[in-house]
């Protein structure tokens, strides 16, 4: 028999799904083996789902709903725990899922505005420069980037901290109109109750961070995965040691960043002096 593991349903949507499957199974007075037979899955699959060690399919949730006579309850919880990713490239798909379920995101951006803070015009200009991209592919990529930003409009959006190098404010992506719109959008996002925008000034010489951009995803204060941007397509990191090193690097860069009110003043100055 699989050892029972206590699951905190408030920990995450995935924990909630695991908790509810076990709760309904026990209420129905079924063993894991009996439930497995009724839904057409293995006993080990049921056990791993109930201990939050296995990502179940939509069919698993739907079959459990049938067995427990629930009206799509588990299917709904499954959609919350594993929402379909935006139509992003294959190499970005796993990260897109993690980005949607994280309770906090920390961005270090030394070259470009982070994707979820980009305007459509800025995103289109950036993506249009990808070698070989077609017009149709461009529209799909832009749409996906805009859809990713929906996480900031949720009832419980993630806490976002964006460290942005000062050079980004001056890089002429798309010209004056695009840059003015983008920087004004950053100012607007800085007023969001869950978003902090901090500029890392030239004078900081944040050299340790100039090796590349990355984003740290956290779940209830625990950094658990990082997206590291690199050529040609970046990578998602889950190694605990590497994550710890990147968290330390982020904290070092943030120590040199302006606080948000001074960062917004600098953005406003650049808009007036350079992009108006």
pLDDT band, very low/low/confident/very high, at 1 (cuts 50, 70, 90): very low
Nearest CA to 238 among 221, 223, 252? 223
Q: pLDDT digits over 7-47, tens only? A: 888 887 888 999 999 999 999 999 999 999 999 999 999 99
pLDDT higher for 159 or 231? 159
Beta bridge partners of 195: 160
For the chain, domain boundaries: 13-81, 90-274
Dihedral sign for Cα 11, 12, 18, 24, please: positive
Band of pLDDT at residue 89, cut at 50, 70 and 90: confident
Alpha helices in 28-89 (DSSP H): 32-39, 43-50, 58-67, 73-81
What does the pLDDT average to over 34-62? 93
153 vs 147: CA distance, rounded Å: 11
Q: Per-residue pLDDT tens for 145-194?
A: 999 998 998 878 999 999 999 999 999 999 999 999 999 999 999 999 99
Could you give the 3-state DSSP secondary structure of residue 104?
A: strand
What's the chain's length in residues?
276
CATH number of this structure's domain 90-274 = 3.30.870
| CATH number of the 13-81 domain | 1.10.260.40
């Amino acid at each position: 028999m699989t050892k029972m593991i206590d699951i905190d349903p408030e920990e995450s949507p995935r924990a909630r799904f695991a908790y509810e499957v076990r709760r309904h199974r026990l209420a129905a007075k079924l063993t894991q083996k009996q439930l497995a037979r009724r839904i057409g899955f293995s006993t080990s699959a049921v056990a791993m789902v109930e201990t939050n060690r296995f990502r179940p399919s939509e069919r698993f949730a739907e079959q459990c709903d049938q067995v427990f006579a629930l009206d799509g309850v588990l299917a709904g919880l499954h959609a919350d725990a594993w929402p379909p990713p935006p139509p992003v490239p294959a190499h970005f798909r796993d990260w897109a899922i993690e980005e949607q379920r994280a309770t906090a995101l920390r961005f270090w951006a030394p070259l470009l505005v982070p994707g979820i803070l980009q305007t459509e015009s800025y995103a289109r200009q950036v993506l249009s420069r990808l070698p070989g991209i077609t017009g149709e592919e461009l529209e799909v990529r832009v749409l996906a980037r805009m859809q990713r930003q929906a996480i900031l409009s949720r009832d419980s959006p993630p806490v976002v901290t964006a460290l942005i190098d000062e050079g980004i404010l001056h890089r002429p992506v798309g010209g004056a109109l695009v840059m003015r719109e983008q920087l004004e959008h950053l100012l607007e996002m800085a007023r969001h109750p869950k978003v902090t925008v901090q500029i890392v000034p030239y004078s900081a010489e944040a050299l340790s961070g100039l090796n590349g951009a990355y984003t740290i995803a956290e779940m209830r204060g625990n950094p658990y995965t990082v997206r590291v941007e690199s050529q040609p397509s970046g990578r998602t990191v889950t190694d605990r040691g590497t994550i710890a090193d990147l968290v330390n690097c982020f904290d070092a860069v943030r120590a040199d960043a302006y606080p948000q009110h001074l960062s917004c003043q600098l953005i406003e100055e650049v808009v007036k002096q350079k992009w108006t």
